[in-house]
């Protein structure tokens, strides 16, 4: 389907006619003697005994050619466009931020793969999150990793495949051996500052207690609540562990409850997978989409035709002059 972006410009087609009707005919400014017999004398001198009958048809053809060029120029100005087939696009309805612990304790081989092989915690987490991301159509997803400091691995995007690839590239101790969980939450909150959707969720995963954040996790959770950011926390590993690798479930529960989220604990891959399935159910939402029809500009076709006619007019004019002087 072809349409015009500015159809009202078609009124310019009448401009030459209006100008001819309203403007006075061209009159030479210098004095001249009018001789009605001049054309006949010229014809007699050239050997012709009748008036030149070709001038009128030539004048009409030149006028027609000029008007055609004007019409093509006006058509180009109206910006003709071809309407493509409709395309549906999923609209983001929620910003979902994943926060993943990459501290040294995440390399503990206490999780079991579906084939029965022992795997480290991070490998299990990446496997489950990969399946989780496959189901996030309609969400903008971001990824923060943390160790000694938090880093944005993936800013908010609807390109879930890119997010999954960059998640797979993470390694234990990639961000340092420590656990700054509170700072990771703080960085996550800053990512939401430009968010335009109402539903903003953080799903954080860690296997240890905070060992050096500038902002304690409990304080970061209060800030998140003020920014209408909900945090779900997933703790992995043995809660009876002591020392720096101890899992402070009380602190993690406080972070989740302060923001209206939930705390989950996973001892193995199956529990971890069931947790993310439950999070899918808790955070279910309607997928919104919009349909639009792309437009492809066609103005260059009438413009090219006008230029071709202009070249033809110049060529014909030169040919006539050569014939007259020949």
Quick check: is 225 in a domain? yes
Quick check: is 113 in a domain? yes
Residue 245, pLDDT score: 57
Quick check: is 12 in a domain? no
Quick check: is 217 in a domain? yes
Q: Which domain holds residue 281?
A: 90-289
- Does residue 172 come out as left (phi exceeding 0), alpha (psi in the -120 to 50 range) or beta? beta
Helices 121-134 and 160-168: crossing angle, nearest 10°?
170
Yes or no: say if 230 and 260 are a contact pair by the CB < 8 Å rule.
Answer: yes
pLDDT digits (tens, 9 = 90+) for 289-322: 667 788 899 999 999 999 998 888 888 777 777 6
Domain containing 226 — which CATH number? 3.40.50.410
Quick check: is 46 in a domain? no
Yes or no: say if 259 and 231 are a contact pair by the CB < 8 Å rule.
Answer: yes
Yes or no: say if 200 and 232 are a contact pair by the CB < 8 Å rule.
Answer: no
Quick check: is 16 in a domain? no
pLDDT, tens digit only, all 326 positions of the chain: 888 999 999 999 998 888 878 877 666 666 655 656 566 655 655 555 444 445 555 567 778 888 899 999 999 999 999 988 887 766 656 789 999 999 888 888 878 777 778 888 899 889 889 988 888 877 889 999 999 999 999 999 989 999 999 999 999 999 888 889 999 999 999 999 888 888 889 999 988 778 888 999 999 999 999 999 999 999 887 666 665 556 788 889 999 999 999 999 887 778 888 888 887 776 655 556 667 788 899 999 999 999 998 888 888 777 777 666 65
State the pTM of this model: 0.63
Yes or no: say if 227 and 192 are a contact pair by the CB < 8 Å rule.
Answer: yes
Quick check: is 295 in a domain? no
Quick check: is 70 in a domain? no
Question: How many structural domains comprise the chain?
Answer: 1
Q: How far is CA 3 from CA 79, 85, 270, in A?
A: 8, 14, 57
Nearest to 106 by CA among 174, 188, 185, 169: 174
Residue 213 to residue 231: CA distance in whole angstroms: 18
Yes or no: say if 83 and 3 are a contact pair by the CB < 8 Å rule.
Answer: yes
């Amino acid at each position: 389907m072809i349409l015009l972006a500015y159809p009202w410009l078609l009124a310019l087609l009448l401009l030459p006619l209006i100008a001819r009707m309203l403007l006075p005919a061209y009159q030479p400014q210098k004095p001249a003697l009018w001789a009605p017999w001049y054309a006949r004398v010229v014809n007699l001198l050239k050997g012709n005994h009748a008036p030149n009958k070709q001038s009128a048809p030539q004048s009409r053809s030149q006028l027609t050619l000029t008007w055609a060029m004007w019409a093509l120029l006006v058509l180009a100005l109206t910006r003709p466009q071809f309407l493509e087939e409709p395309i549906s696009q999923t609209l983001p309805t929620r910003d979902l931020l994943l926060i993943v612990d990459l501290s040294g304790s995440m390399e503990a081989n206490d999780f079991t793969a579906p084939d029965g092989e022992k795997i480290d915690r991070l490998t299990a987490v990446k496997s489950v999150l990969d399946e989780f991301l496959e189901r996030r159509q309609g969400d903008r997803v971001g990824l923060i990793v943390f160790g000694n400091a938090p880093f944005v691995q993936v800013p908010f995007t609807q390109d879930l495949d890119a997010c999954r690839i960059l998640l797979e590239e993470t390694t234990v101790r990639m961000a340092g051996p420590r656990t700054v969980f509170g700072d990771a939450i703080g960085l996550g909150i800053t990512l939401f500052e430009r968010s335009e959707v109402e539903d903003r969720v953080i799903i954080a995963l860690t296997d240890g207690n905070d060992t050096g954040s500038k902002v304690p996790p409990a304080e970061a959770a209060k800030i998140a609540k003020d920014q209408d950011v909900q945090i779900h926390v997933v703790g992995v590993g043995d809660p009876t562990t002591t020392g720096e690798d101890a899992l402070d479930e009380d602190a993690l529960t406080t972070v989740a409850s302060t923001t209206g989220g939930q705390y989950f604990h996973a001892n193995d891959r199956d529990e971890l997978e069931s947790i993310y399935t439950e999070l899918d159910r808790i955070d279910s939402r309607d997928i919104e989409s919009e349909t639009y029809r792309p437009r492809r500009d066609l103005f260059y076709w009438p413009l090219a035709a006008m230029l071709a006619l202009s070249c033809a007019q110049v060529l014909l004019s030169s040919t006539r002059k050569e014939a007259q002087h020949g």
